[in-house]
C-alpha cells in the first residue's frame, strides 16, 4: 500500500476514473462495474466504490437501479443548464456580498487578484498561464465573498458540473482566433462585478455575474458549432451525445 497520502488509493481511483470518463475513454452510456474498474485501475473494490459514489455525486456517473453505474450522457442542453446554474449561484454569492457587505479580507485579496489579472491580459505582457490561475482564484473568492459557507459550498459544487467550471473553456480558448479579446472582455466583467459588490448594488452584481457565465456558454456554442474539432480539448465535451 502506498506510503504517500492518507487516502492514496481512493484519490488515485477518483482522479483516474474521472479522467477516463472526461476524456472519453469510457464512452457515454457504457455500463461500468466496480469489479471491472477495480481491475482496470489495479485496486481493490473498496476505494473504487468510494470513487464511484463520488462520481455519481458529481454527475459523471448514473446509478443503475440494479447496481452498478452507467457513464452519464450529457446533451448540449445539459451543459447550457450547468453553466446557467453556475451563473445563478455566482450571482447569488455576488448579490449577498453586496447586500450584506463583503468579507474584508477576501475583498482585499480580490483587489490584488484583479490588478494581477489586468497585468495578465495586458497585450504588452500577456500571460496566459497567470490568467488561468488568477481567473480561478477570482471565482473562488467570489464564491466566498459573502461570508456564507453554505453559499460558497454550493457555488463550488455547481462549478464541478461538467463543463460548467469557469476554467473549462480556457484550454480550448487558446486556439480560438481572438481569444485575447475574449479574455479582456472577461476581465472587464470581473471588474464590474467587484465594483457592484463594493458599491452595494446587489441586483447589478447578480445580473453581471450571471451574464459573465454566459461567456462560457458562448464558448461552448462556438466550439460545438464552429470548431467541433476542438471538442476534445475541452474537458467533458467528449461526453456530449451527438
Partner DNA sequence: GGGGGACATTCTGTATACATTACCGCCCCT
Partner DNA sequence: AGGGGCGGTAATGTATACAGAATGTCCCCC
d(CA 15, CA 19) in angstroms, rounded, equals 6
**Of residues 189-228, which lie at the interface with DNA (CB under 7 A)?**
none
x/- letters, 47..86, toward DNA (CB under 7 A): x-xx-------------x-xxxx-----------------
Residue 78 interacts, among a copy of itself, DNA, none and using kind-specific CB cut-offs from 5 to 8 Å, with a copy of itself
Looking at beta carbons only, is 59 or 101 nearer to a copy of itself?
59
User: Should residue 9 be labelled a site residue for DNA when binding is judged by CB under 7 A?
Assistant: yes
Q: Which of the ranges 27-35, 84-92, 122-130, 165-173 carries the binding residues for DNA, by CB under 7 A? A: 27-35
Least distance (Å) between residue 155 CB and a copy of itself: 10
Cell matching residue 142: 467570489
- Contact at 8 Å (CB) between 85 and 41? no
Cell matching residue 84: 446557467
Please work out the total of residues on this chain that contact DNA, with binding judged by CB under 7 A: 24
Buried b (16+ CB within 10 A) or exposed e, 153-189: ebbbbbbebbbbbbbbbbebbeebeebbebbeebbeb
Instruction: Return the residue of 19, 46, 112, 171 that touches DNA, per CB under 7 A.
Output: 46
Q: Residue 207: exposed, middle, or buried by beta-carbon count in 10 A (0-12, 13-18, 19+)?
A: middle
Secondary structure (3-state) at 240: strand
Q: Which residues on neighbouring strands pair with residue 61, listed in sequence order?
A: 71
Least distance (Å) between residue 65 CB and DNA: 7
User: Should residue 8 be labelled a site residue for DNA when binding is judged by CB under 7 A?
Assistant: yes
User: Should residue 33 be labelled a site residue for DNA when binding is judged by CB under 7 A?
Assistant: yes
Residue 10 interacts, among a copy of itself, DNA, none and using kind-specific CB cut-offs from 5 to 8 Å, with DNA
User: What's the CA angle centered on 221, arms 216 and 226, to 5 degrees?
Assistant: 130
Cell matching residue 129: 498561464
Q: Which residues contact DNA by CB under 7 A?
A: 1, 3, 6-11, 33-36, 43-47, 49-50, 64, 66-69
Amino acid at each position: 500500500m502506498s506510503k504517500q497520502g492518507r487516502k492514496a488509493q481512493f484519490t488515485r481511483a477518483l482522479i483516474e476514473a474521472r479522467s477516463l470518463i472526461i476524456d472519453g475513454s469510457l464512452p457515454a452510456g457504457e455500463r461500468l462495474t466496480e469489479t471491472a474498474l477495480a481491475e482496470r485501475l489495479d485496486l481493490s473494490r473498496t476505494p473504487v466504490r468510494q470513487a464511484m459514489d463520488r462520481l455519481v455525486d458529481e454527475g459523471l456517473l448514473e446509478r443503475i437501479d440494479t447496481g452498478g453505474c452507467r457513464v452519464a450522457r450529457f446533451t448540449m442542453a445539459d451543459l447550457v443548464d450547468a453553466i446557467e446554474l453556475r451563473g445563478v449561484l455566482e450571482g447569488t454569492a455576488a448579490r449577498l456580498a453586496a447586500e450584506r457587505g463583503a468579507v474584508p479580507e477576501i475583498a482585499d485579496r480580490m483587489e490584488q487578484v484583479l490588478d494581477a489579472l489586468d497585468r495578465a491580459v495586458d497585450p504588452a505582457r500577456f500571460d496566459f498561464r497567470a490568467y488561468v490561475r488568477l481567473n480561478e482564484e477570482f471565482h473562488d473568492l467570489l464564491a466566498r465573498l459573502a461570508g456564507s459557507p453554505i453559499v460558497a459550498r454550493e457555488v463550488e459544487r455547481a462549478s464541478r458540473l461538467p463543463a460548467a467550471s469557469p476554467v473549462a473553456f480556457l484550454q480550448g480558448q487558446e486556439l480560438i482566433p481572438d481569444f485575447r479579446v475574449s479574455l479582456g472582455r472577461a476581465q472587464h466583467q470581473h471588474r464590474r462585478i467587484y465594483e457592484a459588490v463594493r458599491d452595494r448594488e446587489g441586483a447589478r452584481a447578480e445580473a453581471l455575474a450571471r451574464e459573465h457565465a454566459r461567456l462560457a456558454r458562448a464558448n461552448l456554442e462556438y466550439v460545438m458549432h464552429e470548431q467541433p474539432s476542438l471538442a476534445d480539448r475541452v474537458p467533458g465535451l467528449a461526453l456530449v451525445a451527438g
